Structure 1
Amino acid sequence: MAYDQDIGKACLKCGPSCTGFAKHPWRMTCTKCRCPYDEHDVSEFSTQSLLDELELGESPLYKMYTEAQKLAKQYNVHWLPIGLHPAEVSLKQSSELFSAFVLDATNS
């Protein structure tokens, strides 16, 4: 999740043409270069201090969430719900609806 601490982080895709991450109010993209949040030099654990404060860092639900997001990165999508298996993602990715959704999300 994009937090104020990630503002100004370098874009790993655009390099010097992006002056640093600027969060969009509701999209997980940079308003300067339009690249996704995770294309910037942000820490995977930028939410860790909040999780520690709420004592959620070791919760089973959080672990399931992080696994789903790792799977999302493998399939080049911004987000996946928890509980999906790779075979299900592959099946969804081959569907026309999923492809249209991904194209719309990446062109936004």
Structure 2
Amino acid sequence: VRRPEAWLFPGDRAGQPITRDAVGQACAKARDLSRLPKPVTPHSLRHAFAVHLLETGADVRTIQLLLGHRSLATTAHYLRIATNKVCATSSPFELLPRPAPTPLPPAKPQYF
């Protein structure tokens, strides 16, 4: 309805937002300062954000909305490496009642 007068992430030039290149350079600088072995990019931060949400119990639909994906399939593909959540999920078969264990017959007496 109303456009804010100031950018949420202002750039170096007055009245302009931060550029994609500036964000990438900030990620590269943070990587160098932290001595991380893997690349740090805006996309890797976005991916990590989504995976951490999934691993802490957020449902895929909520993650889809937060990431702005039109298709749920895009979000599911995006989170394909979040295997901890998948491995920790109980099978529906584990929810079925289990029969009571049958008692073992008494042991035969042993003679010396």
Normalised TM-score (structure 2): 0.26
Q: Which has the larger radius of gyration?
A: 2
> When the two structures are superposed, what TM-score results if normalisation uses the length of structure 1?
0.27
Q: Which has the higher contact order (CA 8 A, sep 6+)?
A: 1
